[in-house]
Homo-oligomer: A and B are copies of this chain.
Amino acid sequence: MDLKKLEDILKIKLPHIGGVSFQKDDVIHCENRIGGTVLPLGVAGPLHINGQHAKGDYYIPLATTEGALVASVNRGSKAISASGGASSGVELVGVTRGPVFEVKNISQALSFKKWLDEHLSLLKKEAEKTSSHLKLLKLGARITGNYVYVRFYFNTGEAMGMNMATIATDKIVSYIENKTKASCLAISGNFCVDKKPAWLNFISGRGRRVWAEAIIKKDLVKTILKTSPQKLFEVWLAKCMMGSIMSGGMGFNSHFANVVAAFFAATGQDLAHVVEGSMGVTTMKVLENGDLYVSVYLPAVMLGTIGGGTKLAIKKEALSIMKVTSSDALAEILGCAVLAGELSLLSSLAEGSLAKAHTRLGR
């Protein structure tokens, strides 16, 4: 694959990616700017997806300096597509902001929590004054001592929406302070949880939950991935389950973060949200007919097709490679790319050593 060939296939032009350049009138949010930096960008695919929102053959733009990463997603895509493609699903959880309030005591805290639950519709109204693109979906509050942590969940449409959520939360907080005895100590009380690993994100989700799965025919596991479903299963179990357990992990996968980081860099997402994207679970099982079932679950995907870095023309071009119609579709494509990456890396691990293992152990 090279630029010319991709442009021909997709019938689009990618001048900025090809030329690695800013556009003159790009809106750039970076103070004290002295210029820019660059990352090589390659494409993996085509990856066939039968998703809820993404349907068709996709080329995946990945910006990285890590050798083998694009090749790995490419190989995984080949195995998936040859097996009929990946399925995917997405659920909007909402971008979250989690202020911390201070009250006098437990009794006041419990009353405050009750007040919040009872006034959700009024808080919605306040929040939605700040933008026509934002909806307050729900809230969840937790009390410890005289602190109350409140997590607001917002639908911010096609934008990742962190800034929109902050502005809306500020509005809500003012309203709350006017109407109750609670005072806000910080508009972000790390109950968001933004850009930090946290079980709250894993369990309650953040942004979007994304699932992707495929059934890889056993013959294709052999010819394309150079291993077998059984070996893959054993490596997956030892690594993604038991290995992550033994290390006290939140990432029960092989390398979600690699694919998420390269995809985010290419498409103008916030690179610090790789943290949320590194969490999640890969699943494998050998089906009764000997084929391989593989799936990924990403509980907290933070991305958007408008706003933030996506305003740069070069990022828009990357999005145009995938002809994305919505952030839901973009999330599904990412999920499937992550799936391809898992399949390929686990195969490399399995092929590299498991064969020897079995001969030697002679069980």
Contact = CB atoms under 8 A, between A and B. Distances in A.
Interface string A223-250: 0000000000011011111111111111
Contacts of A358: 183
Contacts of A156: none
A145 B37 contact: no
Contacts of A170: 352
A50 to B, nearest CB: 9
Interface string A291-315: 0010101000000000011011011
Contacts of A257: 195-196, 272, 274-275
Contact of A203 (B36, B98, B199, B283): B199
User: This chain: how many copies in the complex?
Assistant: 4
Contact of A246 (B21, B70, B149): B149
Contact of A272 (B67, B88, B91, B274): B274
Interface stretch (A117-125, A128-136, A184-192): A184-192
A265 interface: yes
A116 interface: no
A32 B363 contact: no
A interface, by DSSP: helix, strand, loop or mixed? mixed
Contacts of A173: 353
Given A37-B314, A65-B268, A295-B146, A70 B353 contact: no
Contact of A30 (B67, B189, B274, B288): B67
Contacts of A11: none
Interface in A5-34: 6, 14, 16-22, 28-34
B314 A38 contact: yes
A308 B22 CA distance: 24
B65 A87 contact: no
B34 A194 contact: no
A360 to B, nearest CB: 5
Contacts of A356: 177, 183-184
